[in-house]
């Protein structure tokens, strides 16, 4: 276990920043906690939707959004604990096969927000095997920022659902807190898509 | 209970028509016999995305994503599914998004299965505790009007609405096998 911690893991902030840099048109949904901080730290965008709760819901929000906006790439950036809580949503994505949805899981093998308790991915769960088993054939893992450009191209291509597990270091970078005002981020997001208030 | 192969009751078709006329573009569901006709119609309709869920709370989140992307979604579930959704209902208030669900009731009328009782009897209160407005239908003649009223409140006023289809409407479940 100690070997994995120092070898073959990437800095989360660096990875997310480089990944998002390659997908300026993507609609981004974040899971709660550190994934939201990473996306916000990479640069706030009107087309970022940050969660502060609804644990287990990020991938399903991404699915609803992807179905509603088939011409835009949609990427969900979340953590291992968050995807595990709603893991059936990968089955729902696998059943539906949205062309424009990618789920990126920043996996530090721990529940980072609550005291770094080990999660299932430190204790035997293989998320790529889970995603493939749910029918997301294009599922892979990485531990290098060198893969960011290729992942971004895959997101932008909208050629079927994809799943990426990113092995990240189990550290806690300085907090970068996105807005937690739900109506504000909703209205901002919808306005960026040209949608009017009801 | 309607025998297999006979046409669905008119009220079940009325539900599909209300969803269609109301501009619903995504219908997420965990199946129930009372929703089976609407689900079949949705699957056959190329203008509506049908999304089968592993658990109902996915549908709550999906409806939020649909609204962020400019579409109206509806979630079809059984009363037991309401219990699966409770924390995810927080999203609807915090995110300030409309929500529309149609819930077939169990555990409240001529129920055969005692395991349906606890959640069925708590369904309406659980919804209301989480800030969701509840409308209830008990007779076939009311279905179209009340489902339509719920849909309008959700998407014209931005409310969070559940329409409960009473077990007396759906009818007694037939338990004979064969």
CATH number of A111's domain: 3.40.50.970
B44 touching A (Cβ < 8 Å): no
Which phi and psi (to 5°) does residue B111 adopt?
A: -80, 135
CB contact under 8 A, A92 and B60: no
The Cα angle at residue A58 between residues A175 and A186, in degrees rounded to 5: 80
Q: What is the mean pLDDT of residues B130-136?
A: 98
The answer to whether residue B56 scores a pLDDT higher than 60 is: yes
- State the Cα–Cα distance between residues A87 and A103, nearest whole angstrom: 12
Confidence of residue B172 (pLDDT cuts 50, 70, 90): confident
Number of domains in chain A: 1
Q: In this structure, are residues A97 and A90 in contact, taking their beta carbons and an 8 Å threshold?
A: no
According to DSSP, the β-strands at A27-30 and B133-137 are unpaired
**Three-state secondary structure string covering chain A:** CHHHHHCCCECHHHHHHHHHHCCCCCEEEECCCHHHHHHHHCCCCCCEEECCCCCCCHHHHHHHHHHHCCCCCEEEEEEHHHHHHCCHHHHHHHHHCCCCEEEEEEECCEEHHHCCEECHHHCCCCHHHHHHHCCCCEEEEECCHHHHHHHHHHHHHCCCCEEEEEEECCCCCCCCCCCCCHHHHHHHHHHHCCCCCC
A142 touching B (Cβ < 8 Å): no
Q: What is the mean pLDDT of residues A120-144?
A: 97
Nearest to B53 by CA among B76, B34, B80: B76
Q: Under the phi-then-psi rule, with left for phi > 0, alpha for psi from -120 to 50, and beta for the rest, what region is B107?
A: left
pLDDT at res. A198: 82
Q: What is the mean pLDDT of residues A133-154?
A: 98
pLDDT at res. A13: 97
The answer to whether residue A146 scores a pLDDT higher than 70 is: yes
pLDDT at res. B170: 84
pLDDT at res. B173: 72
B25 touching A (Cβ < 8 Å): yes
pLDDT at res. A172: 86
Confidence of residue B108 (pLDDT cuts 50, 70, 90): very high
pTM, to two decimals: 0.95
Q: Is B1 exposed, middle or buried (0-12, 13-18, 19+ CB in 10 A)?
A: exposed
The Cα angle at residue B139 between residues B134 and B141, in degrees rounded to 5: 105
The whole domain housing A173 covers: 2-189
- State the Cα–Cα distance between residues A46 and B146, nearest whole angstrom: 37
CB contact under 8 A, B54 and A195: no
Size of interface A-B (CB pairs under 8 A): 121
Q: What is the mean pLDDT of residues B17-34?
A: 97
Query: Poorest-confidence range of A17-26, A93-102, B108-117?
Result: B108-117
pLDDT at res. A72: 98
Question: What is the percentage of chain A residues whose pLDDT exceeds 70?
Answer: 96
ipTM over 0.90: yes
Q: Which residue has the tokens 């400019």?
A: B70
Per-residue buried b or exposed e for A172-188, using 16+ beta carbons within 10 Å of the residue's own CB: eeeeeebeeebeebbeb
pLDDT at res. B5: 61
B59 touching A (Cβ < 8 Å): yes
pLDDT at res. B4: 58
The answer to whether residue B93 scores a pLDDT higher than 70 is: yes
| Contact residues, chain A, for B64 at CB < 8 Å | 54, 57, 61, 64
Q: What is the mean pLDDT of residues B13-40?
A: 97
Higher pLDDT, B6 or B27: B27
pLDDT at res. A7: 55
Higher pLDDT, B178 or B17: B17
Report how far apart, in Å, the C-alpha atoms of B22 and of each of B38, B102, B171 are: 14, 14, 27
Which chain B residue has its CA at the smallest distance from A191's CA?
B68
pLDDT at res. A4: 43
Q: What is the mean pLDDT of residues A26-53?
A: 98
Distance from CA of B165 to the nearest CA of A (A): 25
pLDDT at res. B175: 66
**Mutation test of the interface with chain A: which of B52, B62, B77, B157, choosing the one with the most A Cβ atoms within 10 A?**
B62
**Closest CB to B70 among A49, A62, A195:** A195
Which residues are CB-neighbours of B47 under 8 A, at least 6 positions away?
Answer: B20, B25
Which residues are CB-neighbours of A198 under 8 A, at least 6 positions away?
Answer: B98, B155, B156, B158
| CATH fold for domain B10-168 | Rossmann fold (3.40.50)
Higher pLDDT, A5 or B98: B98
Q: What is the mean pLDDT of residues A130-135?
A: 98
According to DSSP, the β-strands at A117-118 and A110-111 are antiparallel
In a domain, A126, yes or no: yes
Higher pLDDT, A2 or B85: B85
pLDDT at res. B31: 94
Reduced to 3 states, what is the DSSP secondary structure of residue B78?
Answer: strand
In a domain, A197, yes or no: no
Long-range contacts of B37-43 (CB under 8 A, 24+ apart): B37/B8, B37/B9, B37/B12, B37/B13, B38/B12, B38/B76, B38/B102, B39/B76, B41/B13, B41/B16, B42/B16
Which phi and psi (to 5°) does residue B101 adopt?
A: -130, 150
Question: What is the percentage of chain B residues whose pLDDT exceeds 70?
Answer: 94
């Amino acid at each position: 276990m100690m070997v994995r911690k120092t070898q073959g893991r990437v800095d989360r902030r660096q990875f997310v920043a480089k990944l998002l840099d390659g997908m300026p048109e993507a609609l981004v949904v974040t899971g709660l906690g550190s994934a939201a901080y990473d996306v916000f730290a990479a640069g706030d965008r009107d087309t970022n939707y940050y969660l502060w709760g609804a644990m287990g819901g990020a991938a399903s929000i991404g699915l609803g959004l992807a179905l509603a906006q088939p011409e835009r790439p949609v990427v969900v950036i979340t953590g291992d604990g968050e995807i595990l809580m709603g893991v059936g949503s990968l089955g729902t994505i696998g059943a539906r096969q949205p062309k424009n949805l990618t789920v990126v899981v920043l996996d530090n093998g721990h529940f980072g927000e609550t005291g770094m308790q080990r999660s299932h991915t430190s204790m035997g769960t293989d998320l790529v095997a889970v995603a493939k088993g749910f029918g997301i054939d294009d599922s892979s893992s990485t531990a290098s920022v060198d893969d960011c450009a290729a992942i971004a191209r895959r997101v932008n291509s909208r050629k079927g659902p994809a799943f990426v597990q990113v092995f990240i270091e189990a550290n806690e970078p300085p907090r970068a807190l996105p807005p937690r005002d739900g109506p504000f981020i909703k209205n901002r997001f919808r306005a960026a898509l040209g949608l009017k208030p009801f | 209970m309607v025998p297999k192969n006979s046409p669905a009751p008119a009220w079940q078709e009325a539900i599909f028509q209300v969803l269609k006329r109301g501009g619903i573009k995504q219908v997420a569901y965990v199946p129930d016999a009372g929703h089976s006709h609407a689900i079949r119609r949705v699957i056959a309709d190329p203008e509506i995305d049908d999304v089968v869920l592993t658990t109902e709370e996915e549908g709550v989140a999906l409806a939020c994503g649909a609204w962020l992307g400019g579409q109206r979604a509806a979630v079809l579930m059984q009363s037991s599914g309401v219990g699966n959704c409770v924390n995810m209902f927080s999203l609807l208030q915090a995110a300030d998004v409309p929500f529309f669900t149609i819930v077939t009731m169990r555990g409240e009328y001529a129920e055969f299965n005692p395991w349906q009782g606890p959640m069925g009897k708590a369904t309406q209160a659980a919804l209301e505790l989480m800030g969701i407005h509840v409308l209830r239908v008990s007779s076939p003649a009311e279905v179209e009007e009340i489902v339509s009223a719920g849909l309008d409140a959700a998407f014209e006023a931005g409310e969070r609405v559940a329409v409960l289809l009473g077990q007396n409407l759906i009818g007694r479940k037939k338990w004979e096998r064969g």
